[in-house]
Amino acid sequence: MPTDSLSPVLIALAVVGGYLLGSIPFGVIATRLGGAGDVRNIGSGNIGATNVLRTGRKDLALLTLLGDGGKGALAVFVAWWLTRQAGSAAQAQLTALAGGASFLGHLFPVWLKFKGGKGVATFFGTLLAAAWPVGMAAGATWIVMAFLFRISSLAALTAVALAPVYVLLLDRPYPIAVMALFMAVLIYIRHKDNIGRLLKGEEPRIGAKKNEAS
C-alpha cells in the first residue's frame, strides 16, 4: 500500500546524499583534467559553465553545464526511485528535499570550502527532473528573455523568479513550489553583483568578453 509518510533515515539519506552529489565541482574537475588550469583563477573565479567558457574551451564548458545540471537531476531521480512505492505526496516531498539539497551543495560545496557556483544550471537540471513541464516553461522564459535583451543574468533571474508561479499554474505538487522558491531566493542572493550592474545598466550582454552571470 502506498504511504505518504517518510522515515527519518530516508529523509537523511536524500538530504545528505543530495548535498554531497551537488557538491561535486564539475567546473573545477573539467578544467583541471582538460589542461585548462583551475577555473577559480580565471575570469570571475566562478566554477560555473560561463566562467569555464572563458578558458576558450567550449567542450569543457559544455561538460560543466551537463555535469552541474545532471547532478541536480540525478539527486531527484534517486529520491523518486526510493519512493516509487510511496504515495505521491511522500514522493514529492523527498524529491524536493533531495533536489534542494543538491542545489545547496552546488552553491556551498564541502570540497571547495563552501565556495561554489551561482546555481543556474543546477536549478534547471533539478527542476526538469522534478517537474519537467515547469522546467520547460522556465527554460522557454530564459530563451525568450535572452533573445530579447541579450543579457544572460537577466534571463536567468526572470526564469527562476517565475518558476514557482509555473509550478502553481501547472498544478504541480506543493513541495516542488517550495523547492523552486528556495532555489530562486538563493540564486538572487548569489547574483547580487549582477543585479547591481543591471540596475546601473552595466551588465554585459551575451557574447561580450566579461559576463559575470553563470
What gap in Å lies between CA 153 and CA 146, rounded to an integer?
A: 9
Which amino acid is residue 159, in one-letter code? A
> Is pTM beyond 0.75 here?
yes
Query: For residue 1, what pLDDT band results from cuts at 50, 70 and 90?
Result: very low
> By C-alpha distance, which of 190, 202, 213, 209 is closest to 55?
209
Grid cell of 183 as nine digits: 532555489
Confidence of residue 206 (pLDDT cuts 50, 70, 90): confident
| Closest C-alpha to 82, from 187, 183, 1, 9 | 9
Radius of gyration, CA atoms only, the chain: 17
pLDDT digits (tens, 9 = 90+) for 114-125: 999 999 999 999
Contact assessment for residue 4 and residue 89, using Cβ atoms and an 8 Å cutoff? yes
Backbone phi, psi, residue 75, to 5°: -60, -40
At residue 44, the pLDDT reads: 85
CA distance 159 to 120: 10
At residue 76, what is the residue type? V
- Please say whether the beta carbons of 146 and 152 come within 8 A: yes
Contact between 79 and 94 under an 8 Å Cβ cutoff? The reply is yes
Per-residue confidence at 210, pLDDT binned at 50, 70, 90? very low
Q: Which of 81, 66, 93, 176 is nearest to 132 (CA)?
A: 176
Enter the DSSP assignment of 40.
G
- Per-residue model confidence as pLDDT tens digits over 14-29: 999 999 999 999 999 9
For residue 114, count CB atoms less than 10 angstroms from its CB and return exposed for 0-12, middle for 13-18, buried for 19 or more: exposed
Distance CA 147, CA 124 (A): 18
Residue 129's CB is within 10 A of a number of other CB atoms, namely 24
